[in-house]
């Protein structure tokens, strides 16, 4: 096995472990689901009404940045409806035939979760409209002039679609969802509750001040909060005295390059590129992505929403531009200020100054 294979295996194993750790922390019922008060209330109503009619729930679209709980909510919908859950994703369905195979095995009342639904191939998308509206698929048998289309009726089922980019969904598909839950970043207080709950489940005795520190630096995202909690536990075990207290939280977050505003390496790299390489912008998404070595979609869906929300950057018709807060956070001065040099190295504390 080559060094590259070994590395790939290790990171695949690490991803698998992270996924397993995440799965163990998923709330199973709507009342355990912390925060997102509006979506929770709307969903509770939709599900209760469907249950009392003895019908399956209307199709649900969940929209919002990664890690806010869309998959978790899909699982909760299935469990609240006492239904079986089938999971797939837009990129996994490369041909309409893949979707036809899934749909033809769907049972009455099932919940079909389609993650990244905005990435479905067009023919599959069209098949899905029909399935969602008329509970029917047309299966094409044969090729060319001899091809025939055989209609296949489906039992009633619920599609739960998740997307980080609701704007990319074609209107006909969007319109087939009876309810859309718009998920937003969590308030720090809600994240503290997520962290306290996870600490209990993981049997970590967590100091409330450490929970606050982790919450503050989790970019409003439960997945990040849970991940940082596990890293704080690691630090406490290996370098500390086992106590997950505030000092352990600060030290661990420093090691894992999460700065005091919760920005991680990618966030800082985007801001740094914008300020130093492009003089603060405005500059197009693709140029930023190329400069930081990421896909434009990753920059747009993973880094940008939080940077926008926190006021580090703005979107203008001519591209992304850094705000005064971004320059300040990096310890740099914008080029218009006299005597400015838009240069510097990024440090974990976001100061722009090297550690003493």
Ligand X SMILES: Nc1ncnc2c1ncn2[C@@H]1O[C@H](COP(=O)(O)OP(=O)(O)OP(=O)(O)O)[C@@H](O)[C@H]1O
Query: How far, in Å, CA of 271 to CA of 292, rounded?
Result: 10
Binding residues with ligand X: total (CB under 6 A): 22
What's the per-residue H, E or C state across 1-58?
A: CCHHHHHHHHHHHHHHHHHHHHHHCCCCCHHHCCCCHHHHHHHHHHHHHHHHHCCCCC
| Residue 231 in the binding site for ligand X (CB under 6 A) | no
Ligand-binding site membership of 129 (annotated): no
CA distances to 260, 261, 266, 300, 353 from 313, in Å: 18, 14, 14, 12, 22
| Residue 47 in the binding site for ligand X (CB under 6 A) | no
* Token duo for residue 163: 């997307």
Least distance (Å) from ligand X to the CB of residue 64?
7
* Token duo for residue 220: 């409003």
| Residue 192 in the binding site for ligand X (CB under 6 A) | no
Question: Which entry of 217, 223, 233, 250 is annotated as an active-site residue?
Answer: 223
Instruction: Please identify which residue in 50, 59, 61, 67 interacts with ligand X, judged by CB under 6 A.
Output: 67
| Residue 218 in the binding site for ligand X (CB under 6 A) | no
| Residue 226 in the binding site for ligand X (CB under 6 A) | yes
Q: Which is nearer to ligand X, 33 or 177 (CB)?
A: 33
| Residue 93 in the binding site for ligand X (CB under 6 A) | no
| Residue 68 in the binding site for ligand X (CB under 6 A) | yes
| Residue 69 in the binding site for ligand X (CB under 6 A) | yes
> In this structure, are residues 177 and 118 in contact, taking their beta carbons and an 8 Å threshold?
no
Ligand-binding site membership of 133 (annotated): yes
Least distance (Å) from ligand X to the CB of residue 352?
31
Query: How far, in Å, CA of 207 to CA of 211, rounded?
Result: 6
Active site residues: 70-71, 115, 164, 223
Which residues are annotated binding-site positions for ATP?
A: 25-26, 67, 70-72, 133-135, 176, 186, 223
């Amino acid at each position: 096995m080559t060094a590259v294979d070994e590395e790939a295996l290790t990171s695949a194993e690490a991803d698998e472990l992270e996924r397993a750790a995440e799965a163990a922390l998923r709330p199973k019922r709507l009342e355990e689901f912390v925060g997102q008060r509006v979506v929770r209330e709307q969903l509770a109503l939709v599900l209760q009404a469907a249950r009392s009619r003895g019908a399956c729930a209307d199709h649900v679209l969940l929209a919002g940045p990664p890690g806010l709980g869309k998959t978790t909510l899909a699982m909760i919908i299935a469990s609240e409806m006492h239904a079986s859950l089938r999971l797939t994703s837009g990129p996994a369905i490369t041909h309409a035939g893949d979707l036809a195979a899934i749909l033809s095995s769907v049972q009455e009342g099932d919940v079909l979760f389609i993650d990244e639904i905005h990435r479905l191939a067009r023919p599959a998308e069209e098949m899905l409209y029909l399935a969602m509206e008329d509970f029917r698929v047309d299966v094409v048998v044969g090729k060319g002039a001899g091809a025939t289309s055989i209609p296949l009726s489906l039992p009633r089922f619920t599609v739960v679609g998740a997307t980080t980019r609701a704007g990319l969904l074609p209107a006909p598909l969007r319109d087939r969802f009876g309810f859309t839950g718009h998920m937003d970043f969590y308030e720090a207080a809600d994240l503290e509750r997520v962290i306290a709950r996870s600490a209990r489940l993981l049997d970590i005795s967590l100091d409330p001040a450490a929970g606050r520190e982790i919450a503050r630096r989790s970019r409003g995202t439960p997945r990040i909060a849970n991940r940082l909690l596990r890293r704080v536990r690691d630090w406490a075990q290996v370098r500390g005295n086992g106590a997950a207290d505030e000092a352990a939280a600060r030290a661990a977050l420093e090691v894992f390059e999460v700065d005091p505003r919760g920005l991680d390496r990618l966030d800082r790299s985007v801001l740094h590129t914008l300020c130093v390489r492009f003089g603060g912008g405005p500059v197009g998404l693709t140029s930023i992505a190329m400069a930081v070595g990421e896909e434009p979609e990753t920059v747009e869906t993973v880094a940008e929403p939080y940077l926008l929300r926190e006021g580090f950057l703005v979107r203008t018709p001519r591209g992304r531009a850094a705000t005064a807060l971004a320059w300040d956070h990096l310890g740099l001065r914008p080029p218009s200020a006299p005597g400015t040099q838009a240069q510097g190295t990024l440090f974990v504390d976001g100061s722009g100054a090297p550690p003493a």
